[in-house]
Amino acid sequence: MDGPHPVSILLLGDDEVGKSTFLSQLARIHGKEGLCDSTISPQPLLRDEDQPFVVELRTRTATFRLKFSDSASPVHWRCQSPPDVLVLCYDISRRTTLTSLQTRWVGEIRTTFQHCDQMPILVLGLKRDLRQADESGHTLYPHEAYNLAQQLRADMYLECSARTGELLAQAVDDICRRAIQTTTPAGGQSQGACSVM
């Protein structure tokens, strides 16, 4: 039997959008039988030296080693080989972090990875739990981020809360499925419009 298929997944986005919290909860929701279960409990935040965070998944036909990293340590992600999947992250409660995906991060991706047009790009809204708590008008609604995801030609739009677990298992499940698809001849990019979880 062949060894696990390696798949690299890079989370990019502004500081403090919730990438490390999201990855820290990944260990808690990773189930043995399916891709994920929904058990959520507090987990220590990952440190830069903990990266990449590795998850092994087994399907009926193959085993996959998914290597998750984030941009918390900006020097390191630029030195890596191009990832198989890019996840652009923003904080639902901070409008500037969504704008930054378009004004900063897309340019960074194009400069750093020459073949970025061939890798799946997902847009992930984090801190979904803050949407209900915010009355200032700074909170983003799904249609606003979905519209930007379409403009960026992203393959999928997702959102969740790592703190409360709302939609977390589904988001991880979709990211893992997209990552596994990159190992097939068809690849992980979607055909046509951006899909929404």
User: To the nearest whole number, what is the mean pLDDT of the chain?
Assistant: 79
pLDDT tens track for 8-62? 999 999 999 999 889 888 766 664 334 444 444 445 555 656 667 787 887 888 8
Query: Which ranges in the chain belong to alpha helices (H)?
Result: 19-29, 74-79, 95-100, 106-112, 130-133, 142-151, 168-181
Name the residue type at position 99.
T
Residues 162, 21 contacting (CB under 8 angstroms): yes
User: What integer pLDDT is reported at residue 44 of this predicted model?
Assistant: 56
Looking at CATH, the fold of the domain delimited by 5-196 is given as: Rossmann fold (3.40.50)
Q: Where are the domains of the chain?
A: 5-196
Q: How far apart are CA 139 and CA 92, in angstroms?
A: 6
For residue 136, name the pLDDT band (cuts at 50, 70, 90).
low
